[in-house]
């Protein structure tokens, strides 16, 4: 807790430098603006609101639950041409095709996931699983991710996520495929299933848990309050979850995200995403080495206005953090599970 040391991340096959004593240093760097508290529930100028007109001229339906539509500015398109052949191994290019979708969680712009009800979150999970099944029928990788807050690059306050399906396995997916495959080969148990069992027993990095799920600050966490959401049983893909597991997932997501908001009493920014076994042609292959999981990467370090920057040493050498994962987990674990905005109700 007091002395620097390095920790190994078996999922990424790399290391993180833990320098817990550095959190005591005075901060004279950049201060972020807290997110706005006065987001209007409905704004005709907000392109994600029901009935609003988007950039391409399409008008959103008067949706009352989740709403999925093609991204108006997609990073991947299904009919992209083949790149030219390379004339040298140091200048390689490869085809990249796919589709990008946007999914609104709720019709109200002022309602983030931790303020939604468990049934409303369950509807989001069902929509995720439906998209994973639909797009995964042909595409090898379906990346569901949410960027929450302007600090994490979100340009719209309306609660939403993105889903990108690609004709290739992205770098993180290929890396996790390799490390999990190697672990199963060497230890005869899926890596993250064994890891969840260990963390459930040790409890020092546990944040919240229920019968089907647990959330931990991983032993190898890089971001200050990074968490890993894990199922207790072996499950490869989001669409493989049972009804009861989806209900308990909605519950534990709500509990975690309330704790996040309560930490600094602000709508907590993060980037999160689901990783599961590849799809498309991989549906017919043995993917037992995979274990479904979700990563949460929040940038805030000391307060609502002080963030962790991944620069300098992190970009040029290796990841580094300023408090131990155990300290972060203890702080999150001790927070109430009633949202700070609802305590006076």
The 10 Å CB-count burial string (b at 16+, else e) for 200-239 is eeeeebbbbbeebbbbbbbbbbbbbbbbbbbbbeebbbbb
* Binding residue ranges: 22-25, 55, 71-72, 147, 153-155, 162, 176, 275, 293, 295, 308-309, 313-314, 320
* Binding residue ranges for Fe cation: 176, 275, 293, 295
SS3 call for 37: coil
234 is an active site residue: no
Q: Which residue's structure tokens are 């940038």?
A: 299
Catalytic residue among 106, 158, 160, 183: 160
From residue 186, alpha-carbon distances to 94, 182, 191, 235, 258 in Å are 32, 6, 10, 20, 38
The DSSP line for 116-168 is: S-HHHHHHHHHHHHHHHHHHHTT-SEEEEEEEESGGGT----S-EEEEEEESS
Q: And the tokens for 206?
A: 């546990």
Q: And the tokens for 333?
A: 């674990």
Q: And the tokens for 219?
A: 């032993």
SS3 call for 117: coil
Q: Which residue's structure tokens are 């390689």?
A: 92
Q: What's the rounded Cα separation, in Å, for the pair 1 and 301?
A: 17
* Binding residue ranges for UDP-alpha-D-glucose: 22-25, 55, 71-72, 147, 153-155, 162, 308-309, 313-314, 320
Contact (Cβ atoms closer than 8 angstroms) between residue 104 and residue 67: yes
How many Cα atoms sit within 13 Å of 250 on the Cβ side?
Answer: 21
Give the residue numbers annotated as catalytic, written as ranges.
160
């Amino acid at each position: 807790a007091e002395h620097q040391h390095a920790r190994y991340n078996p999922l990424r096959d790399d290391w993180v430098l833990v320098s817990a004593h550095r959190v005591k240093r005075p901060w004279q760097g950049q201060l972020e603006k807290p997110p706005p508290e006065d987001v209007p529930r409905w704004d005709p100028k907000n392109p994600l609101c029901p009935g609003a007109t988007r950039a391409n001229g399409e008008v959103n339906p008067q949706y009352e639950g989740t709403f999925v539509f093609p991204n108006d500015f997609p990073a991947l398109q299904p009919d992209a041409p083949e790149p030219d052949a390379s004339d040298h191994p140091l200048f390689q290019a490869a085809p990249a095709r796919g589709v990008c979708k946007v999914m609104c969680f709720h019709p109200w712009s002022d309602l983030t996931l931790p303020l939604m009800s468990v049934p409303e979150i369950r509807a989001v999970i069902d929509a995720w699983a439906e998209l994973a099944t639909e797009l995964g029928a042909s595409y090898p990788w379906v990346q569901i991710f949410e960027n929450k807050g302007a600090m994490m690059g979100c340009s719209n306050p309306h609660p939403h996520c993105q889903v990108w399906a690609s004709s290739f396995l992205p770098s993180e997916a290929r890396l996790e495929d390799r490390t999990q495959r190697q672990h199963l080969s060497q230890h005869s148990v899926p890596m993250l299933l064994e890891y969840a069992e260990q963390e459930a027993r040790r409890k020092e990095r546990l944040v919240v848990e229920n019968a089907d799920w647990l959330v931990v600050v991983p032993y190898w966490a890089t971001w200050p309050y990074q968490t890993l959401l894990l199922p207790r049983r072996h499950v490869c893909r989001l669409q493989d979850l049972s009804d009861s597991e989806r209900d308990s997932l909605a519950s534990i997501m709500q509990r975690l995200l309330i704790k996040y908001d309560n930490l600094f009493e602000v709508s907590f920014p993060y980037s999160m995403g689901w990783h599961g076994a590849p799809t498309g042609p991989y549906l017919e292959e043995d993917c037992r080495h995979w274990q479904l999981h979700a990563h949460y990467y929040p940038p805030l370090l000391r307060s609502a206005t002080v963030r962790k920057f991944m620069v300098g040493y992190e970009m040029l050498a290796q990841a580094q953090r300023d408090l131990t994962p155990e300290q972060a987990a203890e702080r999150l674990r001790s927070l109430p599970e009633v949202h700070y905005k609802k305590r006076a109700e």
